[in-house]
Chains A and B, each alone.
Chain A
Amino acid sequence: MSSAPGPDATVLPSLPRDDEGPVFAEPWQAQAFAMAVHLHEQGHFTWTEWAAALSNTIEDMGPAEYYEHWLATLETITTTSGLTSADELSDQRDAWQRAAEATPHGQPIELGAEL
């Protein structure tokens, strides 16, 4: 992707944003979004497969925030394709939970803090 003609970031540091606020409501949404784009680029699924999986998630879960559907789809697609497993994910969530509980408030939470 080449740079756009016209003013670049140094001239226009704050390019127009979505007029309803940031494009992501919270950082985790941006992370979840980027993970899907990255895995797609690595060839783990096509966007057609992703759209079908997302549609299934919406049907299974019912109404929820858009990125909650997105995250659940990411979990499904990575476990069904064998990139990870439900047990591994569950253990890893527990590790993060313990890491958070061992990290003083205000400091970055990192895996290993719980050990």
Chain B
Amino acid sequence: MSHDHDHHHHHDHDHGEFSELSDIELRVRALESLLTQKGYVDAAALDALVQYHEEKIGPRNGAQVVAKAWIDPAFKEWLMSEPTAAIASVGFEGRQGEDMVVVENTDEVHNMVVCTLCSCYPWPVLGLPPVWYKSAPYRSRAVSEPRSVLSEFGTELDDSIDVRVWDSTAELRYLVLPQRPAGTDDWSEEQLAEIVTRNSMIGTEVVVAP
């Protein structure tokens, strides 16, 4: 990079007091305005979608599913056998979460989710994927050296625990059911949901009671 084009508002040498759009902004605006003009896209619906994914969907949805499974054995059984229906019953369905698989962490098994092809992710329960989930190093190393990746997240597992890595696809999305931490027996579902982190549902971390 010979010089910086991004901060033109601090040194308006070439463009005077007029505006500038980056190449990528031009491409996005061109596509969106054309599709809108042709009636394929509704601008208001687009804005609503952006807001929805930014604010309304997030890992909190998944955390509520996990907390409910910890509290309610019948729900947990249903969640393990018919995850898509069980998750939908809590109110989270649609878009990318149609075919869910729930994998349970136990004293013997730790599960971890990756998408080696691109970045398939259970959006309705976990929101948008974090930056590292989409990165090439995570996508390759989660498979080749899962324990090293886990330890970089601060997750040290006993050698006796079997680490299983699940590769998401366009059809199948995985949600990890983490282990309920000790000392939370008298906690309410709401309290439990508060401590379930996004990473624990991807399987790069475990849930700890504060």
Cα–Cα, bound, A31→B127 (Å): 16
Contact of B26 among A15, A30, A37, A97 (CB under 8 A): A97
Residues from chain A with a CB closer than 8 A to the CB of B170 are 47-48, 50-52
A 1-27 contacts with B by CB, 8 A: 1-6, 9, 15-25
Q: Are A6 and B64 in contact (CB under 8 A)?
A: yes
Contact B55 A9 (CB under 8 A): yes
C-alpha spacing A74/B31, complex, angstroms:
9
Q: Which of B15, B26, B190 has the most CB of A within 10 A?
A: B26
Among B30, B60, B93, find the residue whose CB has the most chain A CB atoms closer than 10 A: B30
What chain B residues lie within 8 Å of A24 (beta carbons)?
54, 128
Cβ-closest chain A residue relative to B23: A93
Decide if A51 touches B50 in the complex (CB within 8 Å): no
Can you name the residue of chain B whose Cβ is closest to the Cβ of A103? B19
Binary CB contact string for chain B from 82 to 103 against chain A (1 if under 8 A, 0 otherwise): 0000000011111110000000
Query: Could you say which interface size class chain B belongs to?
Result: 35 or more
- Which residues of A, 92-110, contact B by the 8 Å Cβ criterion? 92-93, 95-97, 100-107, 109
Note all chain A residues with C-beta closer than 8 A to B45.
Answer: 38
A11 to B8, CA, bound (A): 40
A106 and B71 CA atoms in complex are apart in Å by: 53
Of all chain A residues, the one with the shortest Cβ separation from B96 is A47
A35 touching B41, Cβ below 8 Å: yes
Tell me the nearest residue of chain A to B127, going by C-beta: A23
B59 partner residues in chain A, CB cutoff 8 A: 16
> Which 5 residue pairs across A and B have the least CB separation, nearest first?
A92-B30, A51-B170, A2-B91, A23-B128, A34-B49
A interface residues with partner B (beta carbon < 8 Å): 1-6, 9, 15-25, 28, 30-35, 37-39, 42, 44, 47-48, 50-52, 54-55, 58, 63, 66, 68, 71, 74-75, 78, 83-84, 88-89, 92-93, 95-97, 100-107, 109, 111
